Structure 1
Amino acid sequence: MNLKIVLPNKLIYDGEISSVTVPGKGGVFTILSHHAPLIAILGKGNVTFRFKNGVNNVFINGGLIELNNDKVVICAEQIPENEK
């Protein structure tokens, strides 16, 4: 599954992952490979993605997630300066 995390002014991540956990408006949820298509609003919190060599976290102030055909795009609001 491919994940892209984009901010208004730059690309934060673009690569293959095995899962991503995001802060949805109704609570945290995890997306695995072959998930049904999805569009959702994201809240403030950690985006945690797992890939072959480990795990990474990015804190976002909210945004939007779209998933279709094992391609996940997260359009996030700006990451706070102290989280970069």
Structure 2
Amino acid sequence: MSDTEKKTTQSYLEQLKQKALSQENYGGEIKYEQAGMQVYDCPECGAGRALADGLTVCAYCGFKFMTVTLSDGIHIKKIDNS
């Protein structure tokens, strides 16, 4: 390799390094937060459960945390079994 090829290669690598150092994260700045858990205790037996979407019954004693009644909606229709 000649000296000019080495210089252009080095300058190209330096340009890539500068771009890598100056680029931002896709999600923006990183926010550091204290680790934690969201836990809700069963009022009947005291067992803990994570607040997960769709969890409606205690796995230990069967206590119903919420009762959901489905009605006619855009995509959900009641089934008429008569």
| Between structures 1 and 2, the one with greater strand share | 1
Larger Rg: 2
Work out which structure has the larger RCO, using CA pairs closer than 8 Å and 6 or more positions apart in sequence: 1
| Between structures 1 and 2, the one with greater helix share | 2
Taking structure 2 as the reference length, what is the TM-score of the superposition? 0.20
Taking structure 1 as the reference length, what is the TM-score of the superposition? 0.19
